[in-house]
Amino acid sequence: MNATTLVLGGTGKTGRRVVERLTARGADFRVGSRSAEIPFDWTDRTTWPAALAGVGRVYIAYYPDIAIPGSADLVRALAEAARDAGVQRLVLLSGRGEEEAEATEKVVQASGLEWTIVRCSWFNQNFDEGYLLDPILAGEVALPAGDVPEPFVDADDIADVAVAALTEDGHAGEVYELTGPRLLTFAEAVAEIAKASGREIAFIPLAHEDYIAALADADLPPEVAWLVGYLFGEVLDGRNAHLSDGVQRALGREPKDFADYARDAAASGVWNV
Ligand SMILES: NC(=O)c1ccc[n+]([C@@H]2O[C@H](COP(=O)([O-])OP(=O)(O)OC[C@H]3O[C@@H](n4cnc5c(N)ncnc54)[C@H](OP(=O)(O)O)[C@@H]3O)[C@@H](O)[C@H]2O)c1
């Protein structure tokens, strides 16, 4: 197998951590993103052959989101290009309870290459590296999240599993469903962050219609507005309100708790105002 690993989304929440771990292992890798030395752009297939040249394994963190219709077609095209380029192993970052994510998983499973699926719950890092950072800094998080709990998972755990699947034997053909060790409502997650950061942060429960109206006012790209409406309006209906054991199965250890994540993120100063 070619030694180089292509890390798609290699500057993002999970990809950056995959790159850190490959670096620590002395493994050969190439970042795949628009800003990389050899640029990779999901929307420009002419960039794919150079990014895939000489690569043996690919970590696929699709952008903007695997739940958005169309991801399965693009990942199918990528898997074919990868196979043609001599790639032997794919590790797909996926999401739980999402129709398009399931279709995309099937594409990777049918690719003819070695595959591992890393199917994840909501990331902790949405609160300090993603779209919930601004509301946290503003001291008010308003979401149509209701009382449905989510087992938030840490991007460090995701990266540990992904790197194990990329670099070790014994993970091919596995669907690892990754969650944190505890179910929390969004209100409870925000309360953990308030406690860890020593700040007052309010959680305001919104009606779904009010949230959709606020999104329309916010002038977001249409696919992002659709995605957020879909995630809160459909996926967060209780279908994912249970723990899974993917971290334990892949790594033989427990996942990181949200309180430990909040403590570490607070210590970094990211939530200081
Ligand atoms: N966030 C969650 O809670 C969650 C939960 C489950 C699954 N997921 C899945 O995780 C995946 C990543 O989501 P994320 O929120 O963590 O994003 P992310 O990986 O942090 O996204 C940013 C990365 O994507 C790259 N990128 C942006 N536009 C690109 C383009 N057109 N072509 C190639 N690369 C591009 C960026 O680099 P450049 O700017 O250099 O291009 C950067 O490396 C998604 O498929 C999502 O469905 C997310």
d(CA 74, CA 70): 7
What fold is seen in the domain 5-122+153-179+242-255?
Answer: Rossmann fold (3.40.50)
Q: What pLDDT score does 214 carry?
A: 83
| Distance in Å, CA 11 to ligand 1 centroid | 9
- Is any ligand 1 atom within 6 A of the Cβ of residue 133? no
Question: The pTM is what?
Answer: 0.98
Q: What pLDDT score does 217 carry?
A: 84
The residue type found at 266 is A
Residue ranges of domains in the chain: 5-122+153-179+242-255
pLDDT along the chain (273 residues), means of 10: 92 98 97 98 98 98 96 98 98 97 98 98 97 96 94 98 98 98 98 98 93 83 86 94 98 98 98 95
Kind and range of the H or E run holding 248? helix 246-251
Structure tokens at 169: 């034997």
Q: What pLDDT score does 47 carry?
A: 98
Which residue's alpha carbon is at the smallest distance from atom 14 of ligand 1? 13
Q: What pLDDT score does 212 carry?
A: 86
- Is any ligand 1 atom within 6 A of the Cβ of residue 95? yes
d(CA 84, CA 49): 9
Q: Given the CA of residue 61, which atom of ligand 1 is nearest to it?
A: 11
Concatenating the DSSP letter of every residue in 66-110 gives TTSTTHHHHHHHHHHHHHHTT--EEEEEEETT-HHHHHHHHHHHT
